[in-house]
Chain A
Amino acid sequence: MSKVAQVTEITRRIEKYSDFFADFSVHPVTGQLNKKINEEAVKQSVRNLLLTDKYERPFHPEIGSNLRAILFENMTPGIKPVMDEYISDVINNYEPRANLIATNLSFDNDLNSVNVEVTFGVIETEDVVTVRVVLTRNR
């Protein structure tokens, strides 16, 4: 028996949170679904919530950030606090694992897009992570 095989409880990474990839990608060798664990799972969840509009989920119209709904609003200074509020609302209401720390919005007038950066701490793991989402029209 190799000594490397002996792993103690302290060094083993605990799978507190686990989710699959949104694109259903599979492991090339085992053929099983790839997993996102812990802060990666939470990041994917936050990203999903940010990109979900209200009335998008069946039977639960209240879920979602509604960010895309304001994509066609004029890019005025007044829009920023509205987006901040949308982001904090959705994370506080629907992602209990994330402790929102900061939101950073930067407008790119030439590309008609908004770069959204959300920084939060993951509860129980105490990791601080940042999710970046670019909001822009598709076509």
Chain B
Amino acid sequence: MSDAVAPFEMPPQTGRKQELVVKAPPKALEREPLVTHQRSIGWLSDAIAGVAEGKTPKWWWMAFVPSVTLMTTCFTMILYLMSIGVGVWGPGHPVMWGWAIVNFVWWIGIGHAGTLISAILFLLRQRWRTSINRAAEAMTIFAVMCAGIFPLIHVGRIWFGWWLFPIPNMEGIWPQFRSPLMWDVFAVSTYFTVSVLFWYMGLIPDLAVMRDRSKTFIRKFAYGLFSLGWTGSNRHWSNYEKAYLILAGLSTPLVLSVHSIVSMDFSVSQLPGWHTTIFPPYFVAGAVFSGFGMVLTLLVPLRRLLRLEDIITVRHVELMCKVTLATGSIVGYAYAMEFFIAWYSGNPYERYAFINRATGHYWWAYWTMISCNVLVPQFFWFKKVRTNMIFVFVLSILVNIGMWFERFVIVVISLHREFLPSNWSYFRPTWVDILTYLGTFGLFFTFFLLFLRFVPIIAIAEVKGVTPQADPHHPLGGAKEGGHH
């Protein structure tokens, strides 16, 4: 594919027409286009579909093999855990939840960006979302899968995990609906279901593109099967747009509800450091923060590896950095607020819990969290940082680390020194904890890499809609005289 120059000839401009041409805004006000280098529509199809079509690149294999290995480790660890008991992990009195819940909340948080980008930004008509929404949604689904593993395997009797669902059983006992863990079950499963549906809905036109481009029977058959007979007719598009809008509307409250409910796992209890009314909004902000962090971590190298710099542009990265900065600052505000309330409440237990966070045995975890979540995003005030891809990549990883520590701070530090000092103790992860956590990365990346190879990672149809060619008023776009596209 040759660079530059649109494949369409500029229509010959008559004098009359010239009058009608909207003057381009002055250079200073001009927005950077969402697809740079005036890429043509055909180029877009080729570039995006090409990722899944061409020969498997070497780097893919180099990433895939370790991922599968890690994933296998994860399952081995789970088998080991199941065969003996939860004791192979670190928890004990008084820290009864350890890495499992930290990881759960962390992965769920990461899973927030996808739906936020696809649903809320869609409703807010943020057109820049189209370049990143597909990958972000895929990330969401895989992150929620990783997250979903933990609550199930962290229970003592895994084989009775289904008791958390309201399934009629011979014991005649219903789940306890006052328990936030129960709400969690519903919130997470609903979120996962809707996210998958939303993602798949959006995929249908693109799967049809893949089908149409397929050269082998198997590909054709598989893509054909999943594209559900999409022909791209007006009726299809009309129904599709409506359904997409409805799903976006449905997903939007879920973005807010999932992490609010996850936060209630903590705030409904009466433990100092958990029992905080600020948790729901603070958790949502944190989730969006970490989600964008993860999207940046994934897309910054991918846009280069897949040569998609023209579609996932620096502007996209910058915009995401800005969201990260905003949510990071909200999180920072929440941290400050927690301390203020602890002091203002006058409750010595509450106050101790927070002083202990900053100065206790786990001070290093607390200060890691503060530096990664509050200080690191402040770099994004600077355009130079936002446009430097290496910087952004490193900072986004720090954001992920910081958010993991935030959950660690909440879960472990609050528990390890609570009401009765006689209970005070320490939590230490075991090798199984560590390997299980690392293993979920294997699971995540295995799925993500497979996603890269089989599914268009950018919404082809949508991204075409934000090119200048799609804009009838743009000099390059619209159905101009004598032609259409």
**A, B co-complexed:** no
- Interface residues of chain B, those whose CB is within 8 Å of chain A, are none
